[in-house]
Amino acid sequence: AGIVETKIKIENMDLGNMRLVGVAKVRSPFSDFEMKRETSAVGIRIYKGEELEGNLSKSLIIGRIPLSTLVSFKSASTANSDALAPTEWQQSSDNGQTWNMLSDMTGKRSVSIKKTEVGKWLYRAKMTNKFTSKVSYTDALTVVTYKQPKLSIDVTDILQGSDVPVTLLDNDEPIPAGTAEVLWSEDKVNWVQGDTTYTVASADTLPSTIYARMRYLDSDELAEESSWKETSARLAAAKPKRLSVSVTGVSKVEVGQKVTLEGKFTNPNSKYQNGNNVVEEWKTPDGQTFKGSTLSVTLTEQMLDKQGYAAFEYSAWLADNKENTVSTRRVSVKSWVYKFPEMKISSKLKYDMAPTTLRVALSGIKDGDYPGVTYSREWIYDKENLVITKDEGDTKEFTIENPGKYTLMVVFKDNRNNEQRIENTFVVDEQTPMNVEMTPKFSNKYMRAPLDVTLRSNIKLSHSADSIDTVTYKVNGEVIPSGKNYWAQLISGLKEKKYEITIDVVSKLGQRGSASVEFDVVKNAVPNCTLSYTETNLSWSFTNKCDDTDGKMVRYEWFINGELRNVFGSTATLSKNLNRGKQDIKVIAYDDSGDFATQHVTVFGPAEEASKSENTVSIPSSE
């Protein structure tokens, strides 16, 4: 028995778990004797003491912002993993010159990288041997981010024949100058470098499409290909339309005075960028031209044609496209030489005799015939005896109540110191009485209502040349309609009342006359009637005897048991055989004025007791 101690060098041993066994061999004096003994096995583990090895799952990441990615660390072998202390992650933003530890990622085998801005960063994992503290690093991971634009091309609305400006936009907003690299192409084959604006040159045929490529300059060169974005837009140019023009201003001008005209245009091309540069021009009859919308020029005789008109032309067009857009409006201005108008006056008396009316009218004057010339009228007359009842400017109407000789003067002036005076003298004669007679004829001699009256009129004028102008009938002062035959007037339906009927006559010469008649219309007397009857075995005979003190009876109505019978006289016969039982008889008697009286009687036929009869007479009444 014994203990043997030894040292084992492991430099050349494999890393990992090892199994050691001790073997003892006996030293024997006998050459042919051999003996061995083995110890129990002992297990040991050999760890790596050198710098560790490992790699990241990615070496280059290029992406547009916002960027989010996952990166993991992996040891080169189990031996490296067994000796590895917690992994330390580091980041460099200056291309590896300085490194910063990411403390919140220490010990993690996988980390999340998020970027919201354009740039370039390096990432690596620091490996520390926990037994020997030796340090090593993984290869660096390069992360490059770029901004990828959302491109669109804004094509300016343009008219044919002009260059087409286009603008490149990012998310419909302008791109700041100097921040991007831009390429343009009209065929997607040949590209030219430019800025965010481009002009497609005018040609007979525009390219159908414009193309653009762009990337932001703050992107790293590693992201160059990925950061480019391409877009396109259709190109079109509108056909220009003609303008619409109109002219306002004076239509008449005196020779030697200013002609002022105003031209206006309507431009259907105004929505296009090159559709608003409008040229306006006036041409005068003598060959002068003036730019602008307003013309103010002195009218000369050289401008006039044989009819005395001067023709002016107003034109408007687009400066870049006159041939296709020009419109012209021609306006003729009439010239005139002023002459003070000669005023005429006409007057007419309605009647030669007072009272009468006078109508006076001025003619030969028309305000506005000569622009700038104004006229005034002064009426001078006897305002006490001539009273204006109607005023229509140059036509006036006066009433004249008194006879006499009157003079009316009108003073006519213009604002150029010209004046004309006209006098009109007339005579209104005194009235000469006319003879008017009126004879009434009444519809009944009792003068009871309703009464009709026919009036016969006899009118005698005092002058043989005179004639009747108007005839007016009045009932108690109220004018009533009259017919063409004024000498015979019917007035009907007069009720109980006192009446005065008047006729007023006016002749053509102003003579006046009247006549009147007065009478009373009395209330109608209601008829007084008695109904009686006699009878035989076969029938009844009825008699309705009536007395009308102011007229006569005109008809009778007979009712048997409420039924109107076809009997119209004052007597009636009723058969007992055909009318059995109780019979109620009613008679209504009418006089010539429409008033009536009603009587009743009741009789009994064979089927009823005939021992008694009832005779009833009503009090007369009128409607």
512, 544: one domain: no
Question: What are the counts of helices (DSSP H) followed by strands (DSSP E) for the chain?
Answer: 3, 51
Q: What would the two tokens of residue 59 be? A: 């070496």
Residue 362 dihedral angles phi and psi, to the nearest 5°: -100, 140
**What local confidence, expressed as pLDDT, does residue 610 receive?**
43
Would you tell me how many other CB atoms lie within 10 Å of the CB of residue 243?
22
**What local confidence, expressed as pLDDT, does residue 14 receive?**
66
Query: Domain residues for 566?
Result: 528-617
503, 556: one domain: no
HSE-up (13 A, CA, CB side) for residue 463:
16
pLDDT above 80: residue 1: no
**What local confidence, expressed as pLDDT, does residue 464 receive?**
60
Residue 110 lies in a domain: no
pLDDT band at 594 (very low <50, low <70, confident <90, very high): confident
Question: Please, what sign has the CA dihedral across residues 321, 322, 327, 333?
Answer: positive
498, 470: one domain: yes
What whole-number distance in Å separates Cα of residue 498 and Cα of residue 516?
13
| Whether residue 268 has a cis bond before it, omega within 30° of 0 | no
Residue 277 lies in a domain: yes
Model pTM score:
0.40
DSSP single-letter state for residue 304? -
**What local confidence, expressed as pLDDT, does residue 623 receive?**
35
pLDDT above 60: residue 33: yes
Q: How does strand 356-363 pair with strand 395-400?
A: antiparallel
Give the list of residues 6+ apart from residue 558 with CB closer than 8 angstroms, or none.
Answer: 564, 565, 567, 572, 585, 586, 587
pLDDT band at 387 (very low <50, low <70, confident <90, very high): very high
Residue 191 lies in a domain: yes
Would you tell me how many other CB atoms lie within 10 Å of the CB of residue 87?
19
161, 227: one domain: yes
What whole-number distance in Å separates Cα of residue 603 and Cα of residue 614?
7
Q: What is the 3-state secondary structure (H, E, C) of 512-565?
A: EEEEEEEEEEECCCCCEEEEEEEECCCEEEEEEEEECCCCCEEEEEEEECCEEC
Strand, helix or coil at 298?
strand
- The last residue of one of the domains, among 302, 336, 370, is 336
Would you tell me how many other CB atoms lie within 10 Å of the CB of residue 571?
13
What's the pLDDT tens digit per position in 279-331?
A: 999 999 999 999 999 999 999 989 999 999 999 999 999 998 899 999 999 99
Residue 555 dihedral angles phi and psi, to the nearest 5°: -165, 165
What whole-number distance in Å separates Cα of residue 287 and Cα of residue 303?
9
| Whether residue 207 has a cis bond before it, omega within 30° of 0 | no
- The last residue of one of the domains, among 521, 540, 562, is 521
Residue 308 lies in a domain: yes
249, 317: one domain: yes
Helical residues (DSSP H) of 256-384, grouped into ranges:
322-325
Residue 507 lies in a domain: yes
Residue 293 lies in a domain: yes
What whole-number distance in Å separates Cα of residue 472 and Cα of residue 489?
10
544, 604: one domain: yes
> Looking at the 3D structure of the chain, how many domains does it have?
5
Residue 144 lies in a domain: no
Give the Å distances, CA to CA, from 171 to 151, 193, 490. 6, 21, 100
225, 267: one domain: no
480, 556: one domain: no
Strand, helix or coil at 11?
coil
pLDDT band at 202 (very low <50, low <70, confident <90, very high): confident
| 285 and 312 Cβ atoms separated by less than 8 Å | yes
pLDDT above 50: residue 536: yes
Q: What would the two tokens of residue 222 be? A: 């590693």
262, 212: one domain: no
- The last residue of one of the domains, among 521, 546, 570, is 521
pLDDT above 50: residue 528: yes
> What percent of the chain shows pLDDT beyond 70?
96
Residue 71 lies in a domain: no
pLDDT above 60: residue 375: yes
Q: What would the two tokens of residue 549 be? A: 């003190």
Give the list of residues 6+ apart from residue 393 with CB closer than 8 angstroms, or none.
Answer: none
pLDDT above 70: residue 71: yes
Q: What is the CATH number of the domain that holds 163?
A: 2.60.40.10
